[in-house]
Structure 1
Amino acid sequence: MRAEIQAVVDDITQSLTLLRRHLDLDAATRRLDELNSLAEDPSLWDDPDAAQKIMRERTQLEQSIANYKEFEQGVEDGVMLIEMGEAEEDADTVAEAESSLIALRDRAAKEQLASLLSGEADANDCYLQVNAGAGGTEAQDWAEMLLRMYVRWAEAHGCKVEWLDESAGEEAGIKSATLQIKGHNAYGWLKTESGVHRLVRISPYDSQARRHTSFSSVWVYPVVDDTIEVEVLDKDLRVDTFRASGAGGQHVNKTDSAIRIVHEPTGIVVQCQNDRSQHKNRAQAMAMLKARLYEHELQKREEAAQAEADGKTDIGWGHQIRSYVLQPYQMVKDLRTGHETTNSGAVLDGDIDGFLEASLASRISGSNSEAEAS
């Protein structure tokens, strides 16, 4: 076996070792047996919320165990095929097996990253908010492009997207918008997207076709369920009702039922206008507020206060996490990890997995280094 392919096999083996340790395969198998028994109990759905949690845990555990076994079998089959192909001098079989092992290595590495999404809220759904920076139409168009990128990513990963709030730009794009992205590990994957995103391009709104730089901010925070207690006092809240504004706002209603809630001690502001019922909008806005307050505490515990501070500063130079250059060349580069690609079109169409994985891997390696130092 060639040294390069032996290195691929070693990488897969290392990923499998870490996956098995994290999964605790024997314990996971026993737990799956328990969940299967619970799922067969006719009284399970007497409590729909509890039933959904059990079924969700069962599905996730089934998938994790199946993935591990598939990787384990895949590396065994690949090595065996290479040995057979080399013995029979069948170059096509060897090449096919090597290609399969390389693809398996990439999948196993991604699964290893996903298995490490074990933060307190990583498995939760998330809210994603985009705000245009200074610059009028240019920045508002860029904000809409970013929003589309995240919607495309969510749809490609089987997540559901619910529009909660949208404020249209004067001529094009959006001033701001808030989505709820529903899917396993949605917050875990997207949490590192919070920050300022910078676009450089030839402006389609400039009659002289000059190059423009635009900024928009992204804020991601987890949806919290009823099992997590977040104290919110009525005396700390200011609640306003208003009508959806702007010529756009295609995803929201146009009645006076929109709700804005300001949490005065922290200055956190949330709003919702996706339903015609003021009561439902208020309930959704309160859920968003609790999520923001919970995330505020998470940031403190995870010593990520800088992200909180950046979210409250001007949207511009000095606070950016990623640069998207469309002119005079094509390049998207993450300024924290150094990960980059020249396929900016694919990125803006939602292909951001490489950036998410690099950022997550960076956080994990940083946490591991701190743990080793202490």
Structure 2
Amino acid sequence: MRTETQAIADEIKQSLGLLRRHLDWDTARKRLDELNARSEDPNLWNDPTKARSLMAERTRLDEAIGAYLRLESGLNDNIELIELGEAEGDDGIVKEAEASLKAVREDARKAEIETLLSGEADGNDAFLEVHAGAGGTESQDWAQMLLRMYTRWAERKGYKVDLVERHDGEEAGIKSATIQVKGHNAFGWLKTESGVHRLVRISPYDSNARRHTSFSSVWVYPVVDDSINIDVNESDCRIDTYRSSGAGGQHVNTTDSAVRITHVPTGIVVACQNERSQHKNRATAWNMLRARLYEAELEKREAAAQAEAAGKTDIGWGHQIRSYVLQPYQMVKDLRTGVESPTPSGVLDGDLDEFMAAALAARVKGGADAPVEDID
């Protein structure tokens, strides 16, 4: 076997070892057998909440174990083919098997990343908010670019995106917007994107073609499903209704269908305006509030577990996580991990997985907030 091919096989074996340890293989197989037996109990659905939780765990374990077995089989089958081709002097078989082995390596790398998505709410859907910073039209245009970037990323992943609320800028862009990203591990992937994003470019709104720096913030929090109980005292909340803004049809724009809920003890504010019905907007806003309160609790737990990162719950304008430079040169750089891309156009079109994977890995290792030298 060629040295390069052996190196690929060794890399896959390392990934399999990591996946096996992460799964706690023997325990996982035993637990899956137990869940399979319990899923056949005709009385299981007498308690729908418990049943859904059990079936979700069963599906997760079944998929994880199945993925490991497919990778292991892919490795062994292709090594056997390569050895067979070499023994018979058939270069065609060898080349085909080597190409398949490279594909297995890519799948193994993706599976490794998936092991990082094991947090309490990582498998949930996510709410993502974008807010323009100071700077008027410039920052509002940048906020809209970010909204499009995350929408395109979600579409690439096969996720569904629903617009929850949007406030347009006076001339261009958006002042703020909230979307709900629906799909397995949506929150797990997106959770490290919370923070301040900086854009440097020659402004299309400046007649003197000067270079401008704009800031917008992103905030991600998980959708709370039925398995998570969050109690909210309605007496602690102030509910306001108002007229929706932006596109949406005559009825949306001429009735007080939009809903804003303020949780007085924490100061958390959520809003929804995407439905014609005030009742539906109110229900969505309550779900958003529960999600925000849950996210705040997760942040408290993480801060307690990682005392050195106690400041990470304070996402302010000084907490830049990524810079996007379009002029005078082209570069996107993550300020926490040092990951770079020389093609901002691809990143702004949703090519974010490399940045997200690095941030997830750094977060797991406790180094996600380590400063990296900034770029101008």
Give TM class, smaller chain.
0.7 to 0.9
Which stretch shifts more, 11-20 or 101-110? 101-110
What is aligned with 2:216?
216
- Cα deviation for residue 306 of structure 1 reads 2.1
**CA distance 1:157–1:43, change in 2 (3 Å):** farther
Pair 1:307 & 2:306 matched:
no
Amino acid at match of 2:222: P
**CA distance 1:2–1:365, change in 2 (3 Å):** farther
Q: Distance in 2 between matches of 1:46 and 1:153?
A: 39
Superposition map of 1:168-183 within 5 A: 168-183=168-183
The root-mean-square deviation of aligned C-alpha atoms, in Å, is 2.6
Q: Distance in 1 between matches of 2:158 and 2:60?
A: 14
**CA distance 1:46–1:171, change in 2 (3 Å):** farther
Q: Distance in 1 between matches of 2:175 and 2:203?
A: 18
Q: Distance in 2 between matches of 1:324 and 1:355?
A: 13
Amino acid at match of 2:293: L
Q: Distance in 1 between matches of 2:337 and 2:92?
A: 38
Which stretch shifts more, 187-196 or 58-67? 58-67
Q: Distance in 1 between matches of 2:350 and 2:43?
A: 42
Contact 1:139-1:214 at 8 Å conserved across structures: yes
Pair 1:253 & 2:252 matched:
yes
Contact 1:151-1:161 at 8 Å conserved across structures: yes
Q: Distance in 1 between matches of 2:300 and 2:52?
A: 31
Say which SS state the counterpart of residue 357 (structure 1) adopts: helix
**CA distance 1:248–1:207, change in 2 (3 Å):** farther
Aligned length: 361
Contact 1:261-1:271 at 8 Å conserved across structures: yes
Q: 1:171-228, CA deviations, whole angstroms, 9 ceiling, x for partnerless residues?
A: 1111101111111111111100000011112222222322221111000011112333
Q: 1:113-170, CA deviations, whole angstroms, 9 ceiling, x for partnerless residues?
A: 2123221111111110000111111111111111111111112212221211111111
Say which SS state the counterpart of residue 366 (structure 2) adopts: helix
- Cα deviation for residue 30 of structure 1 reads 4.8
Q: Distance in 1 between matches of 2:310 and 2:281?
A: 30
- Cα deviation for residue 23 of structure 1 reads 2.4
Amino acid at match of 2:321: I
Q: Percent identity?
A: 64
Which stretch shifts more, 13-22 or 144-153? 13-22
Superposition map of 1:1-374 within 5 A: 1-33=1-33, 53-245=53-245, 247-248=246-247, 253-254=252-253, 255-303=255-303, 305-310=310-315, 313=316, 315=317, 318-366=318-366
Say which SS state the counterpart of residue 110 (structure 1) adopts: helix
**CA distance 1:326–1:231, change in 2 (3 Å):** same
Q: Distance in 2 between matches of 1:200 and 1:184?
A: 34
TM-score by length of 1: 0.87
Contact 1:132-1:215 at 8 Å conserved across structures: yes
Which stretch shifts more, 343-352 or 97-106? 97-106
Amino acid at match of 1:118: S
Q: Distance in 1 between matches of 2:118 and 2:99?
A: 31
Q: Distance in 1 between matches of 2:99 and 2:210?
A: 46
Amino acid at match of 2:153: W
Say which SS state the counterpart of residue 253 (structure 1) adopts: helix
Consecutive unaligned residues of structure 1, counting only runs of 5 or more, are: 369-374
Contact 1:167-1:249 at 8 Å conserved across structures: no
**CA distance 1:299–1:305, change in 2 (3 Å):** farther
Which stretch shifts more, 274-283 or 196-205? 274-283
Say which SS state the counterpart of residue 276 (structure 2) adopts: coil
Q: Distance in 2 between matches of 1:166 and 1:249?
A: 11
Consecutive unaligned residues of structure 2, counting only runs of 5 or more, are: 304-308, 369-376
Q: Distance in 1 between matches of 2:367 and 2:340?
A: 23
